[in-house]
Amino acid sequence: MSRGYFELTDQPVLSRNILDRDERLRLDPVYVRDSWPKARVVVVDESGRTPVDWQVDPDREFRETDAAAWDAAAGRGGQVRTRAGTDLAPEPPAEAVLLGESEGVPYWAVRGGPAWTAADDPGEWADLRAAGAFLDPLGSGLLTCAVSTLNWHDRARFCAVDGTRTRPHNAGWARICENGHEEYPRTDPAVICLVHDGADRVLLARQPVWPVGRYSVLAGFVESGESLEACVHREIAEEVGLDVTDVRYLGSQAWPFPRSLMVGFHAIADPDALLVPQEGEIADALWITRDQLRAALARGDWGAPEGRDAHERTDPVVRLPGRVSIARTMLDAWAAVGL
Ligand SMILES: [Zn+2]
């Protein structure tokens, strides 16, 4: 076992899916037709938002983009509010996607807006970034699958081979063009890597477009023909000028903005080596200790208010990603080593 080895302590929140994705059901026209009368449908708007149901702190004014308000609801098990299929259409619409089954209930997804909501529906429309960490495993799985698959449909309307129009088939799990070329939902892999020194320090970095104080671990898209491990070495070298060793897999989760898969690793680098932040990509990179990371995690994430301690800090001012991101799952696990 290598120096500084650790594993995730929690499952990444968007990977908590309990939906049964059964390919045989998508290919069975009798199942597709006969299951519609008992289907529940996830309606997702063009911004990736869907109605969700959760308990809000009654003393706090709610805004759906207010991560602190979502924090107040943490642990209360928010749910995605679905519609009965037969409320929307007598049979599955051509553009609908069969997500899968849970406890005998077939779940589908369609594009739609607030006009599709029942008049008395109290759901608040929210997207995965805002609500993902606070949804129950079914809701999180439904919305992650729905958003990623619908995003792919939006961008696959013409055949990449001959440019003719495509139409959905296999209950939304493929598109086929006028000349019979098929395409399947696409995912773009990206690596995300927690770089540490094998002992007590971790490397954080911030992008130029982020507010001052917002930091995370490093990430980048996998290039064609490249292995995940090679991508880790290349991205860390490009972004901060460090050579890493001991690259180890941690876990993964879908990140459908619009269609990524984040593949998490950790790796070791020399904290005394010169950091060379990449022009235009990295505004700042710094090493902090495990105690400093724990203090930053305790302060709250990117969306949390400044709080009373804002003028009393002696350690670097660091805000970390929210619980919906795998970066946070990775940082939580590294911070817990030795506890
Ligand atoms: Zn074609």
CA–centroid distance, 182 to ligand 1, in Å, is 7
Q: Please return the burial class of 90, using the count of CB atoms within 10 Å of its CB with bins 0-12, 13-18 and 19+.
A: exposed
What is the identity of the amino acid at 49? R
Which sequence spans correspond to the domains of the chain? 14-154, 187-335
216-263 pLDDT, tens digit each: 999 999 999 999 999 999 999 999 999 999 999 999 999 999 999 999
Question: How confident is the model at residue 12, as a pLDDT?
Answer: 96
CA–centroid distance, 176 to ligand 1, in Å, is 7
CA–centroid distance, 175 to ligand 1, in Å, is 10
122-152 pLDDT, tens digit each: 778 899 998 898 898 999 999 999 999 999 9
CA–centroid distance, 158 to ligand 1, in Å, is 8
Judge contact between 263 and 230, C-beta under 8 A. no
- Is residue 231 helix, strand or coil? helix
98-130 pLDDT, tens digit each: 999 999 999 999 999 877 777 777 778 899 998
Question: How confident is the model at residue 335, as a pLDDT?
Answer: 97
DSSP strand pairing (188-196 vs 218-221): antiparallel
Contacts of 273 (CB under 8 A, 6+ apart): 241, 242, 243
What is the identity of the amino acid at 331? L
CA–centroid distance, 77 to ligand 1, in Å, is 44
Question: How confident is the model at residue 53, as a pLDDT?
Answer: 84
Q: What mean pLDDT comes out for the span 286-296?
A: 95
16-64 pLDDT, tens digit each: 988 998 888 899 999 999 999 999 999 999 999 999 987 554 444 444 4
| Percent of all residues in the chain with a pLDDT value above 90, rounded to a whole number | 74
Distance between CA 339 and CA 332 in Å, rounded?
Answer: 11
Judge contact between 125 and 51, C-beta under 8 A. yes
CA–centroid distance, 179 to ligand 1, in Å, is 5
Of the candidate CATH numbers 3.40.1190.20, 3.90.79.10, 3.20.10.10, 3.30.360.10, the domain formed by 187-335 belongs to: 3.90.79.10
CA–centroid distance, 174 to ligand 1, in Å, is 13
CA–centroid distance, 95 to ligand 1, in Å, is 19
Question: How confident is the model at residue 76, as a pLDDT?
Answer: 54
Judge contact between 82 and 138, C-beta under 8 A. no
Judge contact between 16 and 58, C-beta under 8 A. no
Q: What mean pLDDT comes out for the span 301-327?
A: 67
- Please state, in angstroms and as integers, the Cα–Cα distance from residue 160 to each residue in 163, 170, 174, 181, following that order: 6, 19, 14, 9
Distance between CA 94 and CA 179 in Å, rounded?
Answer: 19
Judge contact between 299 and 309, C-beta under 8 A. yes
Extract the tokens encoding 162.
Answer: 């001959």
CA–centroid distance, 207 to ligand 1, in Å, is 39
257-268 pLDDT, tens digit each: 999 999 999 999
Question: How confident is the model at residue 55, as a pLDDT?
Answer: 59
Distance between CA 196 and CA 250 in Å, rounded?
Answer: 14
Q: What is the largest CA-CA distance in the chain?
A: 67
What angle is formed at CA 114 by the lines to CA 113 and CA 119, rounded to 5 degrees?
140
Q: Helix H segments across the chain?
A: 23-26, 29-35, 67-72, 85-88, 128-131, 137-154, 228-240, 290-299, 326-335
Tell me the pLDDT band of 310, cut-offs 50, 70 and 90.
very low
CA–centroid distance, 153 to ligand 1, in Å, is 15
Distance between CA 129 and CA 139 in Å, rounded?
Answer: 13
